[in-house]
Chains A and B, each alone.
Chain A
Amino acid sequence: MVRLKEGEVRIPSGCAIAGILNQKGTCFSGDRIISCIASMRQRSNGLGGGFAAYGIYPQYEKQYALHLYYDHEKARSESETLLNRNFKICYAEPIPVRKNSRVGEAPLAWRYFADPREERLQEQGMDEEEFMVGMVMQINSGIAGAFIASSGHNMGAFKGMAYPEDIGDYFRLDEYRAYLWTAHGRFPTNTPGWWGGAHPFTLLDWSVVHNGEISSYGSNRRFLEMFGYRCSLQTDTEVIAYIFDFLMRREGLGLDDTVKIIAATFWEDMGDRKLAWLRHRYSSLLLNGPFSIIVATGNGMAAVNDRIKLRPLVAACKDDFLYISSEEAAIRKVEPVLDKLWSPSGGEPVIGLIDNKVGLLEPKLNGVFIRSA
């Protein structure tokens, strides 16, 4: 039997999600997030787990940190040719791993710290981010056997086909220190077939972990395609990441507005003219169906539920830490005594930012990102 890979088939799944942020920007080891997500083992089935970590590459924080998975050496040589043509690569190495029997056949994992070549940007007439998005799309859909797991600054995604705690062990996350960790344990209803299909899904600095199934996928996807996004993975999560990217980076909307688009206020409660306009304009980006998601950038994270709260989501604070999780128990596991714990209402975002940050994206002086959360 030929096993279809994720990307060739769309696979619904249930999940556990978790996120831990130190709002002062102090880095801490991956042990905590592993312990947190491991306690929700029943929400996963061993067919997908992963982490996003922010602040792990301070020595290369100016460069794009590219995590690539290769099915074979040929994919690596093809990809590296492409990368070399488009980037100045400061440093490249295989991602260190600790083999364990609970993680099956793994792809080659490499990381590159790279700057886009100025002349390539000029040629293409794009800004750096557009260029990067283009590169990611090109490698993911163009080179067989190669997949970009993450492509942001000072961050990385570590994911694969196993329980999340085993993936954490495999990638030696206990040895990394980050100020923001998100994690995902997956319960796909079909075998995803490859590591690229695991979560978190990332693009530039964005990472998304997501529990749920987006029944509006077809609408969302066809809307995004009008703006050049190619949903090569066919996962709901990919669509969510692109929606955030589209609304916040390209349309310059703030997080509040973005949340009001993906989990729109019901028309019968719609008092605000601006919200109504947002809903009219971006009605196809409403996320329908059950979901809870954590979206993160280097500036912080935001969690939101679908508007009728069909999936679990709890949040808690303790000192400088913000915790978000599918289950309260997972938070208590790593922080038994909390200052505050609450269950956010459907469509009401929980936003945690590093202290001096004003939004998930940096405000830009050229005015593109002046509206922020």
Chain B
Amino acid sequence: MALTMLAPVFKVEREESRCIKCGVCVQQCANEVHHLDNGWMWTNDEECVACQRCVSLCPAQALAIKEYPLSFRVNSHWTPATIREIYAQADSGGVLLAGMGNPRSYKSYFDHLLLNASQVTNPSIDPLREPMELNTSLGNKTGSSELSEKPLISLRLPIMFSAMSFGSVSLNVHKSLSRAAYAMGTLWNTGEGGLHPDLFSYKDNAVVQVASGRFGVHPAYLENSAVIEIKIGQGAKPGIGGHLPGAKVSEEVARTRMIPAWSDAISPAPHHDIYSIEDLAQLIETLKVATGYKKPIAVKVAAVHNISAIASGVVRAGADILAIDGFRGATGAAPMRIRDHVGIPIEIALAQVDSRLRDEGIRQQVSLVAAGGIRNSADVVKAIALGADAVYIATAALIALGCHLCQMCFTGKCNWGIATTRPDLSRRLNPEVGAKRAQNLLQAWEHEIKEIMGAMGINAIDSLRGNRLMLRGIGLGPEELKILGVKAAGEEG
């Protein structure tokens, strides 16, 4: 194509008085933005994705990435992003791809919920001096005695790492998260890319996924797990399958997924053996039989409009854990229009589903896991108060590992060594460092949750679960409050 109308999105600013021409930026940028020719530093701004790798590593703080100065006449309907997208599609004739989660400015309900605390009538509890229990067990709780108890998984804290497949992320990400999960007594999730043999030793902390592509699913895979999760959908792209480009399918990814190397790994949109709820029931039963009824079976669905009916069906189909992924959930690659326009917020879906399952008297049969856009410990607390047993985090975990949310995961050129399988890039994530950082994040949140609970006068997470009286809505309409099942700030009770 002779002419592209795409202007750069970002501008690299180099402060010459600081630059020492050390070449670290040149060496680190997989997008080949920085160049050093005979002592002359120059940049190719079109390629910059604002991943901030060069900025972070520059020893002279000489770099800054800025938004490219406004190049379109101001128009609040045809925004620069909208125009750029049209140029890109006119160039390529293709579907726009995007990485990570929905970045648009839809209302975040977490930000419209406030937490309670004890004053006078009820002593707040100091978590440094009194026990504070975050222990959470997941599974079907209806076993009628200790001898007929259904398989349960115990977590030390109600935060798990969500599914990210090896291939979409580097093996070092899996190593980091599995070690952190082990250290913190929680679970990590293989995603649909199989379980690398190096990680079999973390099987007791692993959720292994069975997704529509059935990559890497074999008896040992199912056995080497704490929980088996059937992935029906994910929040970033409900109703859409997966596509791992052949370029990311390295020898090792191929071996783990049990597919030919360098071939595209395509997950169909539906499971082709699940065209209805009864088919799901059969797959759940099949997996239970295959593993001797020793493991809870989870089903992960995206939060869509009729989520509560879907959830009820999934529970009646025999799922022990139901993971609901809200529309902020992230992905390595999704069609942008799907990522940004399909699904509903996790807060809404969670409240709806928890209430529905209680109304139907089947809430005890299942544990609810909320996923998709959980940003901090307050979000965790709010999700649990709305009714979740635990939450999944993935974007937050990747940010802890260095992700700067440039949203270009699908290029495979992740400068932070996360969403890539290129050996030279994936080595940038030292799993020693990654594990420590992911563990630190969980530890920090654990402390914060304990503080918040202590302030509420609660010393076990059980007493927070579904306790919507601990929440008050602010800036929400009556319909929203009703769906969330919370009172407005200022209402007593």
Contacts and interface: CB of A to CB of B under 8 A. Distances in A.
A289 B468 contact: no
A222 B146 contact: no
Contacts of B130: 308
B476 interface: no
Nearest to B470: A218
Interface in B452-482: 456-460, 462-470
Contacts of B133: 266-267
A284 B462 contact: yes
B198 interface: no
B59 interface: no
Contacts of A226: 358, 361, 363-364
B123 interface: yes
A99 B1 CA distance: 99
Contact of B142 (A266, A281, A284, A290): A281
B376 interface: no
A13 interface: yes
Given A9-B492, A308-B459, A219 B465 contact: yes
A96 to B, nearest CB: 36
A189 B131 CA distance: 28
A266 B462 contact: no
A274 B146 contact: yes
B387 to A, nearest CB: 8
Contacts of A223: 466
B418 interface: no
Contact-residue bracket for chain B: 35 or more
Contacts of A276: 146
Contact of B143 (A13, A14, A267, A281): A281
A283 B464 CA distance: 10
B118 interface: yes
A234 interface: yes
Contact of B146 (A215, A264, A277): A277
B135 interface: yes
Interface of B: 118, 120-123, 125, 130-131, 133, 135, 137, 141-143, 145-146, 149, 152, 358, 361, 363-364, 385, 456-460, 462-470, 492-493
Interface string A1-18: 000100001101110000
A227 B364 CA distance: 11
A227 B142 CA distance: 14
A213 B125 contact: no
B358 A215 contact: no
Contacts of A222: 358, 466-468
Nearest to B456: A215
B492 A219 contact: no
Nearest to B471: A218
Interface string A271-283: 0011011111101
Interface of A: 4, 9-10, 12-14, 189, 212-213, 215-220, 222-223, 225-227, 234, 264, 266-268, 273-274, 276-281, 283-284, 286-290, 307-308, 310
Contacts of B464: 216, 219
Contacts, number: 113
Contact of A289 (B122, B146, B385, B465): B122
Nearest to B492: A9
A312 B363 CA distance: 36
Nearest to B389: A283
B121 A216 contact: no
Of residues A217, A226, A227, which shows the largest number of chain B Cβ atoms within 10 Å of its Cβ? A226
Contact of A219 (B121, B142, B466): B466
B465 A288 contact: no
Nearest to B358: A226
B460 A264 contact: yes
Contacts of B152: 280
A223 B469 CA distance: 13
A209 B469 CA distance: 23
Contacts of B121: 12-14, 189, 213
Nearest to A282: B141
A310 B41 CA distance: 67
B460 A290 contact: no
Contacts of A264: 460, 462
A10 B469 CA distance: 11
A13 B122 CA distance: 9
5 contacts: A218-B468, A226-B364, A264-B460, A287-B463, A288-B462
A289 B123 CA distance: 8
Contact of B465 (A13, A189, A283): A283
